Every structure is written in C-alpha cells, then in structure tokens.
A and B are shown apart, each in its own frame.
Chain A
C-alpha cells in the first residue's frame, strides 16, 4: 500500500500524464439577433452589430445585413464563418441569375433559392438562422424565415438569432396583436414598425449577452433601401 493516496494528489493539467486533448468543432456560436417586420408597402429588418464568441466580443461593429438586390435583404446570425460562405455564394448566384435571365431575381425566387441552398447542405449544415426580407411581385413587404437546414416559412414579422426566442413573443403581442380584445385592425405604419424594432432590440440587449452594441436597420420601400443605425448598451 502506498503512503500517498493517489486521489489525494491535486490535479495540475500541465503535469498530467495524458496529453491535453484539443477537440475540434467546425461550428462556433457567434451570437447576434435579427428582427424583421413587414407592412403593406414596406419591410424593415434590423440586426445587432455585436460579433462574439462566448464571453469575448470580437467586434462591436459587424454588419449582418446583406443586400442581395435593390428589393431584397438577408439578415444572418449564428456561425459567422458559415454566414460569410453562404452570403458569398448567394451573391454569386444572384449575379449568375441576372446575367442568364437579364433580370434581377425577385424576393420570392430568392427565398426559394436560399431554402434549396441550405438543404443542399442538409448533412453538414450552415449553422445560421436566416431571415430574408423584401418586396414581393405586388410590392407588398414580405418576411421569410429559415431553420439551418432550409425549412422556409413566410410571415409578416419574425425574430431570429440568439435573442429570437426572447423577442418573438414580444412581436406576437406588439405587431401580431395576439389574444388582445378591443383592438382595431389598423394598418401597421412604418413609424410604428421602426419604433417597435428599436424597443425590441433594447429589450434583447438587457437580457441577452450576445446581442448589443448597436443595430443596423434597413428599410425597404419601392423607392429603394434606406440605412439607419441605433446605439444599444455596450456591456
């Protein structure tokens, strides 16, 4: 019987006999939230600008909205390296379509293409939650949201990304007016949509550490895309 009980010895990782195991995961969670709200003749999309990994903030100023055409914008959050790759291929596909058909791809067509492109990687998915917004063929605002493997749903408002689960019920209440009595069916105005969008991100920045710093907002109308930015808390 040995004098030193083996389990009494402290564990020093640097002096352990077994080599340190570095496991490799091809995915990273870089956080970020995207919110989109559609109206009758406009659509707004906002994304925060924080790029993080765990408790580290890589940068406080990262645009996560990608302009695919004059009427279509894609918001991405999740694994940033996948986002970079997907958006790069998407822009190339948009260009190929334009040159082949001599017209710009419409938002519904783009929405279908994105779904197909995501499902193509079904067994090694792009780990991104995508929200695609734009104007449809009648000029109405539309929002398409996706899961990482290409399931697509058309909606009028959607929250996605790290604070998606936090924000969607808030939108259900404020935009969807769900389970409310004595509310008129008044049309959603652009001003109201923008105000709710900002409030919703302020709320997310309070509770979600992966959302913050600032937001970039794109407003799409028949006149084009307008940019706005808005500061959030930076802690």
Chain B
C-alpha cells in the first residue's frame, strides 16, 4: 500500500503525514532578515611585543600582512604615534586596524581643532578601545584585533592591551599572538632579574624578542618597527628595522 514506511502519505491534501508536523501554507518559516556577522580575519598581522621600562614604554611589531599562510603584503606599518603621549600597536585583521586607526586619527584632529591645550591621554584611549571592542563583540561583529597602548600619564609610564572581546589589562610586559608564548617568558625572566630596565636595555630586549619570533613564528617577517615613548625624548616610531639574523646554528639542526 505505502511505497515505504518512511514515506507515508499525508492524512489529507497538504496535511501532516503520520508522525510529521503540519506544514501551514503561506509564508515560509525561514527568516529573511538576518545578517551574517563575525567574519573571519583576512589580511592579518602577527605578534606585538611591548615592554614598560623605568621611564617609558617600547612597542614593536613586524611589517608583514599575511593572507592565511601567504606572506602577502610586506610593508604594513602597524605601530603608530597617536599623539605626543600615546603610542599604539595592533595585531590581527589589518583592515579592522585601519578602520579603527582612522577613527582614532579623526579624534586627534577634532581635539586639536578645539585648541584648548588638552590632549588624549593613554588611559583614556585604552578605556575607549575597551568600549568599542566590547561593543562590537556584543553585536557578534568583532574587530578582530589586539591593541597595545603605551604612553606617559601624570609622569608615569603606562602599558595596556585590549583584545577582540574587550578583555583589557595593564601590565609591564605585554605580547600578543605567538609573542604571548615565545616572547613573554623571555621578557618576564629578564625583568625579574633586572626590574629597573633602562631605555637601552628595554630596546635591546625587545629587539632580541623580534629576532627569536622571526626564527620561530612562521607568520613573521625580518622587517619591523619600534616605537618608544618617554618624557625626555617623546614618542618616536622608528623603522623599518631589519632583524639581526644569525643562522650559524642552522647546520646543526637535523
């Protein structure tokens, strides 16, 4: 009588089949007004290495824009001077970074136009970044970035970071991406042995970390930028700097 047990005919025309739900005629039940959010990152930048020393902050990041495993763009600056008392580094999606960077730069222009002598402070930018990142994650449409904010506020150095969820913390040592696994242990060890680093020592440490990261992080690049900020010399972004490569050991690795 039935073709198969699985395909019993409906009780009546357009009615439910035994054990099945009634399909009401008319509007389809599939939603039409949805938006696809939370896309994946496309062109990405890797680790940021940042260190706070006695009187200031150093932030470094290489200049590679990766397209998955392809080393696609090799001249992508992602360390910037925001104003005289803030430097900023970014990792993750490069397009999202450029979008946020444009907003920050416009904020600085608007502030300069007021001409009241007030300037954005590092903790204010850090707090603001926390809010925009949390706001976008709550819309399921995150900015796929890690931001590292460095600066001088009330004569004290400040170093803080915000990730794509809005998770934020301030510390003397901050590394994102692979740097969190490779550079943080090197830096924590060095700072434990010498808690009051000078600017030169801090820079040398960060340069060493960029070298080690270049050896081990497959998404890294031997060309990088370093930004430093302190009260005497202000905010300076240097680079492109080349990694001091030393492959003398290479022949010993089987």
Chain A bound to chain B: yes
Q: Does the CB pair A59–B169 fall under 8 Å?
A: yes
CB pair A20 B134 closer than 8 Å:
no
Q: Which residues of chain B have C-beta atoms less than 8 A from A84's C-beta?
A: 130, 134, 166-168
Asked if A61 CB lies within 8 Å of chain B CBs, one says yes
Q: Is B142 an interface residue (CB 8 A)?
A: yes
Residues of A82-129 contacting chain B, CB below 8 A: 84-85, 124
Alpha-carbon gap, A64 to B41, bound state (A):
32
Contact of A80 among B137, B167, B170, B171 (CB under 8 A): B167
Chain B contacts of A59 at CB under 8 A? 169-171
Instruction: Tally A-B pairs: CB < 8 A.
Output: 55
Residues of chain B with a CB closer than 8 A to A19's CB: 40, 68
Q: Which residue of the partner chain B has the closest CB to A81? A: B166
By CB atoms of chain A within 10 A, which of B137, B144, B167, B184 has the most? B167
Judge whether A51 and B181 touch: CB under 8 Å: no
Q: B40 to A62, Cβ gap below 8 A?
A: no
Q: Mark A46-62, 1 if CB is under 8 A from B, else 0.
A: 00000101001011011
Chain A neighbourhood of B140, CB < 8 A: 24, 26
Partner among A30, A56, A62, A124 whose Cβ is within 8 Å of the Cβ of B138: A124
Q: A2 at interface (Cβ–Cβ under 8 A)?
A: no
13 A-B interface contacts by CB (under 8 A): A19-B40, A22-B144, A26-B165, A28-B165, A53-B167, A56-B181, A80-B167, A80-B168, A81-B134, A81-B137, A81-B167, A84-B134, A84-B168
A66, chain B: closest CB distance, angstroms: 15
Q: Which residue of A lies closest to B69 (CB)?
A: A14
Q: How far is the CA of A27 from the CA of B40 in the complex (A)?
A: 17
Contacts of B171 in A (CB 8 A): 58-59, 61
Q: Does B103 contact A (CB under 8 A)?
A: no
Which residues of A come within 8 Å of B, CB atoms? 14, 19-22, 24, 26-28, 30, 51, 53, 56, 58-59, 61-62, 79-81, 84-85, 124
Minimal Cβ-Cβ distance residue in B for A57 = B184
Q: How far is the CA of A26 from the CA of B167 in the complex (A)?
A: 10
Closest to B169 in A: A59
CA distance in complex: A85, B134 (Å): 8
Instruction: Please report the total number of B residues contacting A with Cβ < 8 Å.
Output: 23
Cα distance A30–B171 when bound, in Å? 16
- By a CB distance below 8 angstroms, the chain B residues around A85 are 134, 166
Within 8 Å by CB of B169, from A21, A26, A58, A79, lies A58
Residues on B with beta carbons closer than 8 Å to the beta carbon of A14? 68-69
Interface assignment of B180: CB less than 8 Å from any CB of chain A: yes
Residues of the A chain whose Cβ atoms lie less than 8 Å from the Cβ of B134: 81, 84-85
- The verdict on B244 contacting chain A, using a C-beta distance below 8 Å, is no
Nearest to A53 among chain B residues (CB) is: B167
For A60, give the chain B residue with the smallest CB separation. B171
Q: Which 7 A-B pairs have the closest CB atoms?
A: A81-B166, A24-B38, A22-B40, A59-B171, A14-B69, A81-B165, A81-B167
Give the distance to chain B from A234, nearest Cβ to Cβ, in Å: 10
Residues 43 to 93 of chain B near chain A (Cβ within 8 Å): 68-69
Residues of A within 8 A of B69 (CB): 14
- Give A23's nearest chain B residue, CB to CB: B38
Which residues, 115 to 172 on B, are CB-close (under 8 Å) to A? 130, 133-134, 137-138, 140, 142, 144, 165-171
Cα of A20 to Cα of B166 in the assembled complex, Å: 24
Q: How far is the CB of A210 from chain B (nearest CB, A)?
A: 14
**Residue from B133, B134, B144 having most chain A Cβ neighbours under 10 A:** B134
Residue of B nearest to A121 (CB): B138
Q: Decide: A51 and B169 in contact? CB cutoff 8 A.
A: yes
Known: A59-B171, A81-B168. A26 touches B138 (CB 8 A): yes
Which residues in B have their C-beta under 8 angstroms from that of A30?
167
Residues of B within 8 A of A61 (CB): 171
A124 — which chain B residues lie within 8 A by C-beta? 138
Q: Is the CB of B169 within 8 A of A62?
A: yes
